[in-house]
């Protein structure tokens, strides 16, 4: 069975911050700043499914509001189009909600909620012409494309150092190369996640797979290094990791983005830090989580910086607030620097973890408003 990439429920991080759930898992899309008004679509996820309401909308900006009244089985909703995930909300556990915004051209899309009895629902956008965003944002999306291409190129090079050490059976060298390779993946993770099964193949944890014999990617080798203390049988896993990264490189070379995707991706990176990653579940064997935190923040900040000129024109106060809060988070992480990397996350106290989560949440809430401002 193909592994699915699931994230730990938001409730797992509740012990770290009393305000964590509301800030990280719920946000309200903002009205479109210009052009046609945004259409509001509600998606209620349940064991039965996730039918969008309405299921047909006009071309242009669309605000999606995702709610989960009671389902423990289904906690995610995605909008799919053109063979990739355009927008999504994960970890919507019972009683929680989330939101994201997109600008959609005419065509047929689908809403997908993994685990539901009916997991795929048709969604149609009607109209004529293109829903392209203001041309002032074209430079931002092109620059983000270039950034992603560069990061994946660096990922391929750094991962090859890691996988070469794995194939050579050199545990020490592989451990040293593990975190530096992953930072290039973590900075653009929402892009990788948009390509369906590619992210689980590269970055799934043991919790994400139904058949452990099919577990591949970074974390499978991480377990071999730090838990099993043996690289026996890991050469094929290393080979597949190289091949999957090469596939990712080919896909991002021709991928295109819309401004809302940059904003949604930045918001998702922060939500992942402040919910699942802050608990230490991501790099549970190596305790290199702080490297991932920093990469997630860097990726989110890059997307924000590219959108900042347009955002400053429509909401200068929000742009200024976000710049200040990014600075706070970066400064907060800096205290854990050690040489060219970061301290072992296992040594970080619960109080410090709570402080990290709170600072990320203080950034995540206003950042979640940006997509609605740039659609």
Q: Is the pLDDT of residue 5 over 90?
A: no
Span 211-233, average pLDDT: 97
Predicted pLDDT of residue 135: 64
Span 352-365, average pLDDT: 91
In a domain, 206, yes or no: yes
Q: Which of 131, 151, 174 is the last residue of a domain?
A: 131
More confident residue, 22 or 258: 258
Q: Is the pLDDT of residue 286 over 60?
A: yes
Predicted pLDDT of residue 272: 84
Question: Within this chain, do residues 188 and 318 fall inside the same structural domain, yes or no?
Answer: yes
Question: Within this chain, do residues 182 and 125 fall inside the same structural domain, yes or no?
Answer: no
Question: Within this chain, do residues 122 and 140 fall inside the same structural domain, yes or no?
Answer: no
Q: How confident is the model at residue 4 (pLDDT cuts 50, 70, 90)?
A: very low
Question: Within this chain, do residues 227 and 100 fall inside the same structural domain, yes or no?
Answer: no
Span 45-59, average pLDDT: 96
Question: Within this chain, do residues 235 and 341 fall inside the same structural domain, yes or no?
Answer: yes
Predicted pLDDT of residue 167: 98
Q: What share of the chain has pLDDT > 70, as a percent?
A: 88
Question: Within this chain, do residues 57 and 109 fall inside the same structural domain, yes or no?
Answer: yes
Domain tally, the chain:
2
Question: Within this chain, do residues 146 and 126 fall inside the same structural domain, yes or no?
Answer: no
Span 338-361, average pLDDT: 92
Predicted pLDDT of residue 137: 87
Predicted pLDDT of residue 84: 86
In a domain, 100, yes or no: yes
More confident residue, 25 or 44: 44
Please enumerate in sequence order all residues whose Cβ is within 8 A of that of 217, keeping only pairs 6 or more positions apart, or say none: 200, 201, 202, 203, 204, 237, 240, 241, 244
Q: Is the pLDDT of residue 26 over 80?
A: no
In a domain, 9, yes or no: no
Q: Which of 107, 131, 155 is the last residue of a domain?
A: 131
Predicted pLDDT of residue 15: 37
Question: Within this chain, do residues 99 and 221 fall inside the same structural domain, yes or no?
Answer: no
Predicted pLDDT of residue 129: 64
In a domain, 286, yes or no: yes
Q: How confident is the model at residue 326 (pLDDT cuts 50, 70, 90)?
A: very high
pLDDT, tens digit (0-9, with 9 covering 90-100), for 139-197: 999 999 999 999 999 999 999 999 999 999 999 999 999 999 999 999 999 999 989 88
Question: Within this chain, do residues 125 and 199 fall inside the same structural domain, yes or no?
Answer: no
Question: Within this chain, do residues 81 and 44 fall inside the same structural domain, yes or no?
Answer: yes
Predicted pLDDT of residue 136: 66
Q: What is the average pLDDT value for the chain, to the nearest integer? A: 88
Question: Within this chain, do residues 150 and 194 fall inside the same structural domain, yes or no?
Answer: yes
Predicted pLDDT of residue 112: 97
How far is residue 351's CA from residue 361's CA, in Å, rounded to a whole number? 15
Span 77-94, average pLDDT: 90
Q: Is the pLDDT of residue 353 over 80?
A: yes
In a domain, 301, yes or no: yes
Secondary structure, 3-state, the chain:
CCCCCCCCCHHHHHHHCCCHHHHHHCCCCCCCCCCCCCEEEEEECCCCCCCEECCEEECEEEEEEEECCCCCCCCCEEEEECCEEEEEECCCCCCCEEEEEEEECCEEEEEECCCCCCCEEEEEEECCCCCCCCHHHHHHHHHHHHHHHHHHHHHHHHHHHHHHHHHHCCHHHHHHHHHHHHHHHHCCHHHHHCCCCHHHHHHCCHHHCCCHHHCCCHHHHHHHHHHHCCCCCCHHHHHHHHHHHHHHHHHHHHCCCCHHHHHHHHHHHHHHHHCCHHHCCCCCCCCCHHHHHHHHHHHHHHHHHHHHHHHHHHCHHHHHHHHHHHHHHHHHHHCCEECCEECCHHHCCHHHHHHHHHHHHHHHHHHCCHHHHHC
Q: Is the pLDDT of residue 48 over 50?
A: yes
Tell me the residue range of the domain where 331 lies.
134-375
How far is residue 120's CA from residue 205's CA, in Å, rounded to a whole number? 25
Q: Is the pLDDT of residue 375 over 50?
A: yes
Predicted pLDDT of residue 29: 45
Span 252-260, average pLDDT: 92
């Amino acid at each position: 069975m193909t592994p699915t990439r699931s994230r730990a429920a938001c409730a797992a991080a509740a012990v770290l911050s009393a305000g964590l759930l509301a800030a990280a898992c719920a946000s309200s899309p903002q009205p479109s700043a210009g052009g046609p008004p945004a259409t509001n679509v509600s998606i209620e996820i349940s064991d039965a499914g996730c039918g969008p309401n309405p299921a047909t909308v006009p071309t242009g900006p669309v605000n999606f509001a995702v709610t989960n009244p009671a389902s423990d089985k289904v906690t995610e909703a995605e909008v799919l189009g053109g063979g990739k995930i355009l927008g999504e909300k994960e970890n919507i556990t019972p009683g929680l909600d989330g939101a994201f915004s997109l600008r959609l051209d005419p065509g047929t899309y689908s809403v997908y909620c993994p685990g539901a009895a009916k997991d795929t629902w048709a969604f149609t956008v009607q109209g004529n012409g293109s829903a392209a965003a203001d041309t002032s944002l074209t430079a931002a999306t092109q620059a983000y494309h270039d950034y992603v291409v560069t990061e994946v190129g660096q990922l391929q090079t750094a991962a090859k150092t890691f996988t070469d050490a794995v194939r050579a059976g050199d545990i020490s060298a592989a451990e040293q190369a593990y975190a530096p390779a992953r930072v290039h993946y973590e900075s653009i993770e929402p892009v990788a996640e948009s390509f369906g099964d590619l992210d689980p193949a590269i970055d799934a944890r043991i919790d994400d797979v139904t058949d452990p014999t099919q577990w591949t990617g970074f974390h499978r080798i991480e377990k071999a290094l730090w838990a099993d203390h043996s690289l026996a049988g890991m050469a094929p896993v290393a080979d597949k990791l190289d091949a999957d990264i090469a596939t990712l490189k080919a896909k991002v070379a021709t991928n295109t983005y819309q401004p809302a995707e940059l904003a949604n991706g930045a918001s998702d990176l922060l939500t992942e830090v402040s919910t699942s990653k802050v608990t230490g579940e991501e790099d549970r064997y190596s305790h290199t989580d702080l490297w991932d935190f920093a990469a997630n923040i860097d990726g989110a900040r890059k997307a924000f910086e590219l959108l900042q000129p347009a955002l400053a024109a429509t909401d200068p106060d929000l742009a200024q607030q976000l710049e200040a809060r990014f600075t706070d988070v970066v400064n907060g992480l800096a205290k854990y620097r050690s040489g060219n990397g970061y301290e072992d996350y296992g040594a970080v106290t619960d109080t410090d973890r709570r402080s990290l989560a709170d600072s990320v949440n203080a950034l995540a809430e206003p950042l979640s408003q940006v997509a609605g401002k740039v659609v």
